[in-house]
Structure 1
Amino acid sequence: MIVGALLLLLLTRAGTAQIAETRRDMVFRKIDGQELKLDLYLPEGEGPHPIALVIHGGGWFRGSRRSMNATLLVKLLARDGVAGASIDYRLAPKSPHPAQIEDCRYAMQWLLANATKFGLDKKKVMACGASSGGHLAGLLGAQANLADPNSKDRIARERTRPDCVLSFFGPMDLASDDEETNAAGVRLVKQFLGVRDRSESALAAARLASPLHQLASGAPPFLFIHGKQDRLVPVKQSHSMARALKKRGVPSSVLEVRGGHGDFTLLLAASRPGAEPKYWQEARAFLKRHWLK
């Protein structure tokens, strides 16, 4: 609780002046008796603005669009004139995979269908998130575009694949039996998939939910930021995905940071505009080169 309160205070001081307007509690989907909402943060300056689909972490079973890691990303990206849409999605175990990725796809389509209304640039969409949110962002980028151009539903006609992916310590291979992954990480994956063991059917389900195993042609640039001492999601997960992307000629980069699962984000949250840690300066350079160009 103390760490959470500290992070909230730091975020409040970091870059809020660059968010000109916030539209909260917009319902983008109704499903399974739930109203899924997003908060849209519009930066200063004239649009259309590049848009970041911000996906919260929480092990797929908790968290919300106002979780600390989601708020951090929104505020950081606003410094570069990027609009941020922080979304909710259905949670496990009540709603196992693929509910989460379906909601993320729909949120992206909803934003694109309403881009003109909100002053958003439909040609510059990035999916980003931390931990499980990083996984879902990666899965959006890995899977092929599932738009239905012949649909009568204007939302369904929009694309589902972003132009860039930013993953903070997100798992890329849920089928991995890496000994570096701790027991907590294994339990979270099983709960997310709705399985109890490591049978062949469970491994097949894990591969279907893994960006590494779902990598289709035409993938966008990927940027990974990962703690060297992460035991929940070992940093080699990001490196494995980056290698697979590079083999396909897709720009990708892994920025290793000292710390465990998300520890280093506290320092990033405390940074002032123009005085961010070196790795975030490198991240901004990557995004400007491959996405905001």
Structure 2
Amino acid sequence: MLDVYVPKADSAKPRPVFVWIHGGGWFTGDKAGGTMEYKAKTLVDNGFIFVSVNYRLSPDLAGPKALSKGRLIFPAHYLDAARALGWVNKHIGQYGGNPKKMVIGGDSAGGQISSLLATKPAFLKARGMSTRQIKGV
């Protein structure tokens, strides 16, 4: 469901956390795909803890079926990403992270999921969180 990347050097203060949600039109993509390793390295090298998450994907349908009822498994994508953020909130301190300094982001579908989670309180509230905990998108 998620991968955590931690800087090698110890820190006296808890580190900020960047949570990455992959793109792929809600039907493709993976937490380890694309240029994710470069994103993780860049942020970890700059003192962040980097977390990359997966979420359930909608079926990959083409042609007329692409618009068929039930193609998108809404809201599963958001629920899975919110569950990952809830895990980060609860456990990131064990990795030296500060759950009160969390930034979320993504590309394509991941960017949309990030934006929705940061602005629609119900998804995070169900995980014991508040949108106020998200310091940037």
- By the TM > 0.5 criterion, same fold? yes
Instruction: State the SS of the aligned residue for 2:74.
Output: coil
Coordinate RMSD, CA, aligned: 1.9
Which residue in 2 is equivalent to 1:48? 14
Q: Find the residue that maps to 1:138 and give its secondary structure.
A: helix
Query: What is the count of residue pairs matched by the alignment?
Result: 122
Unaligned runs of 5+ in 1: 1-36, 149-155, 166-293
Instruction: Give deviations 1:217-272, integer Å, cap 9, x for gaps.
Output: xxxxxxxxxxxxxxxxxxxxxxxxxxxxxxxxxxxxxxxxxxxxxxxxxxxxxxxx
1:67 aligned partner: 33
Q: % of aligned pairs identical? A: 32
User: Higher Cα Rg: structure 1 or 2?
Assistant: 1
Question: Following TM superposition, by how much is the alpha carbon of 1:71 offset from its aligned partner in structure 2, in angstroms?
Answer: 2.7
1:157 maps to amino acid: G
User: Could you tell me how far apart the structure 1 residues matched to 2:8 and 2:95 are?
Assistant: 13
Q: Are positions 1:97 and 2:74 aligned together?
A: yes
Residue 157 (structure 1) aligned to one of 108, 111, 128: 128
Q: Output the CA distance in 2 between the equivalents of 1:71 and 1:41.
A: 10
TM-score by length of 1: 0.39
Checking the alignment, whether the CA contact within 8 Å between 2:19 and 2:104 is kept in structure 1 is yes
Runs of 4+, deviation exceeding 4 Å: none
Mark the CA change 1:69 to 1:59 in structure 2 (over 3 Å): closer, same or farther: farther
Under a length normalisation based on structure 2, what TM-score does the superposition of the two structures give? 0.78
Alpha-carbon distance in 2 for matches of 1:48, 1:95: 38
Q: Would the aligned equivalents of 1:64 and 1:88 in 2 still touch at CA under 8 Å?
A: yes
Q: Which amino acid aligns with 2:36?
A: A
What residue number does 1:199 align with?
none
* 1:106 aligned onto 2:76: no
**Higher relative contact order, chain-length normalized (CA < 8 Å, sep 6+):** 2
Unaligned stretches of 5+ residues in structure 2: 60-70
